[in-house]
Structure 1
Amino acid sequence: MSEQKLIAEEITLLHEEIAGLRSELSRFRGEVAGSQTNSLFNEFRNQCAVEMINGSLENAYELIGNEEKECPMQTKCIPHLVHFFEDLSDYTRNGQLTDDNIEKMRSNFDKVKELAPFDHCSNCIEKAEGYFDQQIGMLQTIGVYKNESEMQLQVRDLHEEQVSNLIGDPLSSAVRVRILKSLYKEGRSFTELSKLTELRGGNLLFHLEKLQSKGMIRQRGERGEYQISVQGYEALNAMAELVGKLGVNYSKI
Structure 2
Amino acid sequence: MPDKKESSHNDLLEIKGKLNEIHRDMKRFMEQSNQQHLDTVLSGSRTNFANAVIGHVLGDIDEDLERNMVKKCEMRKTCKSKFTGFLQNNANLIKQDAVPEDVILKNQSDLNGLRSNAPSKQCEKCFSQVQTLFGKQVGLMRSLQIYNTDKEKKQELSVLPDELIVNDILEPLSNKQRLQILKAIAIETKTFSALSELTGLRGGNLLFHLQKLLDSGMILQRHERGDYMITDKGFKVLRSIGDMYSVLKS
TM-score with structure 1 length normalisation?
A: 0.69
Match for 1:86 among 80, 88, 104? 88
**Which residue of the partner structure matches residue 249 of structure 2?**
247
What is the CA RMSD across the aligned residues, in angstroms? 3.4
CA contact (8 A) 1:46 1:144 kept: no
The CA distance in 2 between the partners of 1:96 and 1:155, in whole Å, is 17
The CA distance in 1 between the partners of 2:207 and 2:222, in whole Å, is 15
What per-residue deviation string (whole Å, max 9, x for no partner) do you get for residues 52-109 of structure 1? Answer: 4355212111122211362333322222112223332566668883212211111222
Structure 2 residue ranges without an equivalent (≥5)? 1-31
CA contact (8 A) 1:65 1:74 kept: no
**Which residue of the partner structure matches residue 191 of structure 1?**
193
Question: How many residue pairs get matched?
Answer: 215
The CA distance in 1 between the partners of 2:224 and 2:129, in whole Å, is 58
**Which residue of the partner structure matches residue 206 of structure 1?**
208
**Which residue of the partner structure matches residue 181 of structure 2?**
179
Q: Name the CA shift for 1:154/1:51 in 2 (closer, same or farther; >3 Å).
A: same
The CA distance in 1 between the partners of 2:190 and 2:245, in whole Å, is 26
State the shift of 1:51 in Å. 6.4
CA contact (8 A) 1:47 1:93 kept: no
**Which residue of the partner structure matches residue 59 of structure 2?**
58
State the shift of 1:129 in Å. 2.2
The CA distance in 1 between the partners of 2:47 and 2:149, in whole Å, is 16
The CA distance in 1 between the partners of 2:46 and 2:148, in whole Å, is 14
**Percent of paired sites with the same residue:** 30
SS in 1 for 2:229: strand
Rg larger in structure: 2
Structure 1 residue ranges without an equivalent (≥5)? 1-29, 249-253
CA contact (8 A) 2:54 2:92 kept: no
When structure 1 is superposed on structure 2, of 90-99 and 194-203 the one drifting more is 90-99
**Which residue of the partner structure matches residue 227 of structure 2?**
225
The CA distance in 2 between the partners of 1:97 and 1:173, in whole Å, is 35
The CA distance in 1 between the partners of 2:113 and 2:87, in whole Å, is 16
